[in-house]
């Protein structure tokens, strides 16, 4: 055997042994590696030692010297692995105290806004409303024109909307939707009556952030279109919603404390229009706007206002969430403070 071949086999054995001893995960694996490399009968080191007799006589001193170096290297790697295994067992036995209570598992939580939206969907679903979604980037038709908001209306002012790029002056401007009523228009354009839907999602208005305002917030919009729908139906649905959400399902006394009132108002897309207030535990809270869908809106989507009528309402999700949990500043919901969010 050529000296170079013998030395190459020694180097390969050293590398394999060091790798095997370093990755041995338990005592069984370590013992298997020891037998493979250091076994007295069939170990790779023993086999290679027998092969040294085939090396040329002149090269045997060099081969023997390198063999002894590799043997010491492999034995040292085995000893280190044994030390690590023994030390690990000792550390584990010293650190493990079975009498101590287990460490609590930290789990994630749904954001309070997400919890509120989920509860709203559940309640309105039980009232027969189907949840639908729509795009957050809208065109002028769905955000304004189809909702009976004329060009001269101040709600279209660029200072009161998030128009995209140069879209404010374009023929067909695009903007971040300012209300989820846009979803109602999209559904009615493609669905014949009757329609019974809710839409929940983010809306955008360039308000200065303070305790009660934020440039991005969430709305729930409800729409019911059918024959013979009246304001009485609207008030019944909103009263049932508020009683279910704030009164709970089991405490009848608490349910009876929830009351809803309407105050006359004006919105371009409903006529008549009302502001909706809720009384709960002795205090009135403004919930949002509502009313009977304006005949112009029905005509814009191809409905005949002589055949069908309907109501629509829009409520602020953050406002309801804050009232439920006693939150006094809307900005707390969006600061991602784990100390605050972990309460919910």
Burial of 35-59, coded b for 16+ CB within 10 Å and e otherwise, reads eebbeeeebbbeebeeebeebeeeb
pLDDT the model gives residue 246: 79
Q: Any residues with CB less than 8 A from the CB of 3 and at least 6 apart, and which?
A: 55, 56, 59, 62, 63
Q: Any residues with CB less than 8 A from the CB of 44 and at least 6 apart, and which?
A: 13, 16, 17, 36, 37
The pLDDT tens digits of the residues spanning 73-117 come to 888 888 888 888 776 555 555 566 778 888 888 778 889 999 999
Q: With contact defined as beta carbons under 8 Å apart, do 322 and 293 qualify? A: no
Per mean pLDDT, which range of 50-54, 149-153, 226-230, 265-269 is the poorest? 50-54
Q: Any residues with CB less than 8 A from the CB of 20 and at least 6 apart, and which?
A: 33, 36, 37
pLDDT the model gives residue 55: 78
3-state DSSP assignment of residue 300: helix
Q: Which residue has the higher pLDDT, 125 or 151?
A: 125
Span 180-184, average pLDDT: 92
Length of the chain: 344
pLDDT the model gives residue 89: 57
Span 19-24, average pLDDT: 84
Give the rounded distance of the alpha carbon of 176 from its chain centre. Answer: 21
The pLDDT tens digits of the residues spanning 43-71 come to 888 888 887 778 788 888 888 888 888 88
pLDDT the model gives residue 253: 45
Q: Is the pTM of this model over 0.75?
A: no
pLDDT the model gives residue 90: 53
Q: Tokens 């001193």 map to which residue?
A: 61
What DSSP character marks residue 244? H
Q: For residues 316 and 328, what is the distance between their CA atoms, to the nearest angstrom?
A: 15
Q: Which residue has the higher pLDDT, 212 or 180?
A: 180
Q: Is the pLDDT of residue 167 over 60?
A: no
Q: What share of the chain is helix, strand, coil (3-state, %, to 5)?
A: 50, 20, 30
Q: For residues 107 and 85, what is the distance between their CA atoms, to the nearest angstrom?
A: 33
Confidence band, pLDDT 50/70/90 cuts, at residue 135 = very high
The angle, 0 to 180 degrees and rounded to 10, between the axes of the packed helices 112-126 and 231-247 is: 130
DSSP H stretches of helix in the chain: 3-23, 27-38, 44-51, 60-95, 112-126, 140-143, 181-190, 231-247, 252-256, 295-300, 317-325, 338-341
The pLDDT tens digits of the residues spanning 282-298 come to 678 788 899 999 999 99
pLDDT the model gives residue 188: 94
Q: For residues 181 and 149, what is the distance between their CA atoms, to the nearest angstrom?
A: 12
The pLDDT tens digits of the residues spanning 248-275 come to 555 454 556 678 889 999 988 999 999 9
Mean pLDDT of the chain: 85
Full set of structural domains in the chain with CATH: 3-95 (no CATH), 112-341 (3.30.930.10)
């Amino acid at each position: 055997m050529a000296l170079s071949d013998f030395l190459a086999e020694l180097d390969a054995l050293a590398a394999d042994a060091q790798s095997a001893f370093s990755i041995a995960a338990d005592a069984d694996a370590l013992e298997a590696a020891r037998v493979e490399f250091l076994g007295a009968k069939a170990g790779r080191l023993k086999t290679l030692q027998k092969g040294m007799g085939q090396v040329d006589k002149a090269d045997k001193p060099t081969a023997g010297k390198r063999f002894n170096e590799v043997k010491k290297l492999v034995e040292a790697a085995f000893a280190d692995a044994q030390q690590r295994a023994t030390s690990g067992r000792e550390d584990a036995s010293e650190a493990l105290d079975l009498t101590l209570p287990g460490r609590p598992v930290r789990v994630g939580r749904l954001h309070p806004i997400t919890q509120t939206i989920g509860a709203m969907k559940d309640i309105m679903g039980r009232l027969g409303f189907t949840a639908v979604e729509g795009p957050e980037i809208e065109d002028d038709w769905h955000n304004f024109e189809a909702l009976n908001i004329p060009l001269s209306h101040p709600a279209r002012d660029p200072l009161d909307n998030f128009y995209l790029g140069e879209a404010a002056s374009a023929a067909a401007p695009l903007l971040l939707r300012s209300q989820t009523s846009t979803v109602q228009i999209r559904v009615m354009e493609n669905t014949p009556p009757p329609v019974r839907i809710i839409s929940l999602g983010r809306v955008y208005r360039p308000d200065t952030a303070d305790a009660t305002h934020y440039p991005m917030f969430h709305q729930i919009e409800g729409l019911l279109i059918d024959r013979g729908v009246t304001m009485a139906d609207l008030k019944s649905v909103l009263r049932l919603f508020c009683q279910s959400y704030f009164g709970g399902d089991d405490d009848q006394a608490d349910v009876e404390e929830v009351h809803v009132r309407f105050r006359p108002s004006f919105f371009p897309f409903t006529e008549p229009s009302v502001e909706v207030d809720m009384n709960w535990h002795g205090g009135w809270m403004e919930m949002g706007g509502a009313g009977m869908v304006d005949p112009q809106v029905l005509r814009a989507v191809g409905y005949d206002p002589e055949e069908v009528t309907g109501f629509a309402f829009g409520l602020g999700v953050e406002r309801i969430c804050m009232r439920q949990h006693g939150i006094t500043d809307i900005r707390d919901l969006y600061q991602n403070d784990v100390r605050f969010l972990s309460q919910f």
